[in-house]
Every structure is written in structure tokens, then in C-alpha cells.
Amino acid sequence: MRGAAVIEVLADIGRMLDSPLMQRAVIIAVLVGLSAPVIGTYLVQRGLALLGDGIGHIALTGVALGWLAGAAAGAVPADAWAVPGAIVASVAGAVLIEAIRARGRTRGDVALAILFYGGIAGGVILIKFAGGTTTNLTSYLFGSIATVSVRDAWFTIVLAAVILLIGLGLRGPLFALCHDEEFARSMGLPTGALNVLVAVVAALTVSVSMRVVGALLVSAVMIVPVAIAQLVSYSFARTMRLAMGIGVAACVSGLTITYFVAASPGAMIVVLLVGLYALVALVGGAVRLAGAGLRRRARAGRAAGERAGHGRAAPSARPSSARES
């Protein structure tokens, strides 16, 4: 019975992969799982874990702007320019956040909050002018990987390749920047340009991931795999590789589960990531507690052995001293 159930599940997965729509969805899930944790590793290292959330909300304004431009140009479908609009708005917002953080009087977190709220409000207003409704933004808010078109798939492939090329090819300079910006500047690295580059790549990552998990959950795919990897690894390079593996496994698993269960793929992916983080944290805590207990018992055993050794040595020392007297 168990073997028959396994065969049936494998047959269902085979039928899933026979569908061109699901083939595109799996390719995009793999690319998002690979690319998002790469830039997420740098953001976590710099303490900018919420940057993805801010850019994701700005991207909604870009979606609405693309929708508006597409409607004005008579594009079919109406949202044909939504993803390019999201890319432009995300990059512009990321550069603006970095400029305010580096040169403005407003703190980076305040600037991020302002753009955070302004982005989603602008999207809601602009979509009305485009002849749409807030319902049209739902797939971009929460992700809709099952409705990804061939054009969206090619956008994702190109952007993911750019993200991986920059994130992996410039790992040395970007690590120096994120670890200690003053040290990177003393080495002669162009820290200003690198800061802008990190922000722009984060914006591209948001644009890539938005159709998978949505603008509201996009930061989870960037940050949570890195947080899980950091629980078991202390090396920057190993953390990045492990986070990429976790991201791919979570994205593909979430997509596969929602093929059989009526649920949102984006939400399922995030639930899997958060559940894995909780599991690894609990297991790691239990292992550390058990190790601490073993070390305490070992120290207690050594201390008891030393006391016993001193106790045996003391009687033999007294007769010797008596003979000398």
C-alpha cells in the first residue's frame, strides 16, 4: 500500500511537470530560491533586513505605473508593462533610500518607513487611474506564480542571472563593505558605488521574487534562509551557499505542495521557511543544552578525580615528613 501511494505521488508530480505552466513556475521558483538569499546575505550582514519590505512596497507603485502606461499604449494584456514598471520603480526607490541614508538628514529607517507607506498608497491610487481596482494588485501583493507568462519567465531568468553574477562575482568587495564599511574605504574600495549597487541588486531581487511570494512577503525569501543558515554556520561563504540551497528547497517544495493543496504558493513557501527556522532553532538549542550538561558533568568528574587524588596523596606524605624529623 505504501509503495503504491509513493508511485501515485510520483505520477502526479510527473503530470505536474508535463504542464508548460508548471514548468515555467518550477524554473522561476528555482531561480528565485537561488538568487534571493544571495543579496539577502549581504543585507543581513549590514543590518538592513527590512530593506526588501520597503522596496517591495515601492514596487507596487511601479506595478500601477506600468499598468497605467500599458493602458495608455493599448497594451494587451493590460498589465503587460507591470513587471518592467516594478523594476524601474524598485531601482529608483532603492537608490533614493541609499541617497537619503548616506547624505540626508533623515535616518535610514525613517526614510524607509516613509517610502514603505508611500509606495503602497501610491499603488492603490494609480491603479484607479489605470482603470483597474485594488483587486488587480492582489497577485502582486501575495504572489501568483501560477499566472506567470512566458514574458515574465524571461524577465525572471535575465534578472536572476544578473543578481547571481553580481552577488557571487563581487563577493569579496561586497563582503568587505557589509562587514566593515570603514575598513573597505581604507582599502580603496568605492564604497559609495558599492552601496548603491547593493541597493539596486536588492531592488532587482524584489522584482524577481514579487510574482512568486508577493510584495508583502518578498523579504522572507531573502532573509529567512540566511537566518536559518546562520544558526548552523559561522562562515560567510558557507552561510550563503547553505541559504541558497534552503531557498531552492523551500520554493520548489512550497510550489509542489500547492499543486496538490489549494493554497497560495507564496504563503506556503514562507510558512515552510519559518517552520524550518523554528525547528532548527529548537534542535540547535537542545543540542547546545545537552552539550553544556555533558561539559558540566565532565568538569565535575575531573574535579572529583582531582580531589580523590589529593586525598590519597596526603596520608603518604605525613609518614615521610615524620621520618625526616
Picking from 216, 43, 218, the residue whose alpha carbon sits closest to that of residue 123 is 216
Whole-number Cα distances in Å, 121 to 54, 115, 124, 131, 209: 13, 10, 5, 16, 21
Predicted pLDDT of residue 106? 60
Percent of the chain at pLDDT > 90 equals 18
The answer as to whether 141 is a domain residue is yes
The answer as to whether 312 is a domain residue is no
The answer as to whether 260 is a domain residue is yes
CA distance 261 to 14: 16
Q: How confident is the model at residue 165 (pLDDT cuts 50, 70, 90)?
A: very high
The answer as to whether 140 is a domain residue is yes
Coil vs helix vs strand at 257: helix
The answer as to whether 123 is a domain residue is yes
- Domain residue limits at 141: 2-286
Render pLDDT for 83-109 as a digit per residue (tens, 0 to 9). 888 888 888 888 887 787 777 666 666
Predicted pLDDT of residue 321? 47
Q: Using alpha carbons only, what angle is made at residue 265 by residues 231 and 13, rounded to the nearest 5 degrees?
A: 100
User: Among the listed ranges 3-17, 73-87, 216-230, which one has the minimum average pLDDT value?
Assistant: 3-17
Whether residue 246 has pLDDT greater than 90: yes
The answer as to whether 308 is a domain residue is no
The answer as to whether 103 is a domain residue is yes
Whether residue 316 has pLDDT greater than 80: no
Domain count, the chain: 1
Q: How confident is the model at residue 315 (pLDDT cuts 50, 70, 90)?
A: low
Residue 232's domain is classified under what CATH number? 1.10.3470.10
The answer as to whether 306 is a domain residue is no
Q: What are phi and psi of 199, to 5 degrees?
A: -65, -40
Mean predicted confidence (pLDDT) in 123-151: 77
Mean predicted confidence (pLDDT) in 298-313: 72
Q: Could you identify the residue written with the cell 503602497?
A: 120
User: Among the listed ranges 31-45, 87-101, 139-153, 257-271, which one has the minimum average pLDDT value?
Assistant: 139-153
Q: Burial letters for 261-294: b for 16+ Cβ neighbours within 10 Å, e otherwise?
A: eeebbbbbbbbbbeebbeebeeeeeeeeeeeeee
Predicted pLDDT of residue 241? 92
Percent of the chain at pLDDT > 70 equals 89
